[in-house]
Structure 1
Amino acid sequence: MARLNLQDERGFNQIFASVGSTPLRAIRRNDWFVDMAEKVGARRILELGCGSGDAAAHMAAKTGLEVVAVDISDKFLAHARKTYSLPNLSFEKLDLLADDLGRFGRFDLVFGNGILHHLVLRLDDVLRALHSLSNAGGGLAFIEPNFLNPYCAFIFGTRVGRRFAKLEPDEMAFTPGQLRRALPLAGWRDVTVTTKDFLLPGLPKAAARPILAIEPALEATAATRWLAQSHFVSARA
């Protein structure tokens, strides 16, 4: 799959190039985050692991709300600041495992795309910290890789796959049950984990069309739904 020539300082995390199916995939994921913000009546929003800044900019432009987007990578933050300039959007450096999460105040929605699976060894602590900085009734929304998906099982579950995908040593995809158990233990309620999305990034547009045509049927039945790429996770504080 084609990628941008952009990766973090350690060489692990890379950004997909905006070609083929990738823009459509990103837009509909970002629209889901916007829907989650509207669902909880958010006024202040925090994105964890903002990367290139696309999702945060989409959220800020679509909602007009204050969006604070954080990342640990100076390279990603520099790219995001150069690419997006909106009065209601700020990009800040933050190490989720070392810095004070509360220094930016409290939020009505905390969201992120493919972030929690980088934090599996401290997941309980991170989820509790996110709960503590959320306003009463605030929301959580994350999209995370599904370990049961064959491609995810390969890249996360085999040595060859992990080297191919340049994964961090502690990075690991989730089963839906892991997420359904972890969130309530950290104080979150109304937890929903929906496994969906069969549209891989980087596919030719011609290949994307048939996938989109059959995707609703694949997501509608338990016999095939579990094979989807991602868990769409939401909860309330």
Structure 2
Amino acid sequence: MRLTLHQLRLLLAVSREGSVTRAAQRLHLTQPTLSGQLRQLSEQVGLPLFERVGRRLHLTTAGDAVLGAAQRVEQELENLDETLAELRGDVVGRLRLAVVSTAETFIPRLLGDFRRERPAVEVSLVVLNRDAVVRRLADNLDDLYIMSRPPEVPVVVATPFLSNPLVVIAPTHHALAGHIDIAVRALEDEEFVLREQGSGTRQAAEHFFAAHDMALRPRLE
């Protein structure tokens, strides 16, 4: 049995993303293409690597074994890269980031500056909503996480580095448009266009309204 690095990386991507669809998007493949390559991998192994429970895919015992080997191979290749880079005098390694979608506005610029200063460091980036980033944090899948309202758990060290003000936006014909210093109670009967459940922006709005003993009323999610 001869497995390729490409096949092992496909399995790693599916494991990290939690679904074939998200892994395919991450790898810039179509879902049928990725599914077909995973079937070929299972055929080469001679055992099923996944089993479907409801709508979710779970690794079988054989899948866990192949995944463990893939992780060890990946780590050894990273170690080799670092060793060779040290011999060349480079600063190397891998930086894995998971960020919330609101960080899309500034992360590319920061990463561009970082890459210019550290070209030998491999950077990977996933952009998700807050709940998904928190799940990755719990599974220790990345090196750095950027979000608003980090979870309050002892193992997390949070360092604020950028303000992220949230404001209310209304059409020009709205009764409150153009007003300054609007009382919070003036928003009590308004309906809002909101992000999906699990979004940090959505949670911040919900906490703000709850703190003022008001219900947040979604019109569109």
TM-score, normalising length: structure 1: 0.23
Q: Which of these two proteins has the greater Rg computed from alpha carbons? A: 2
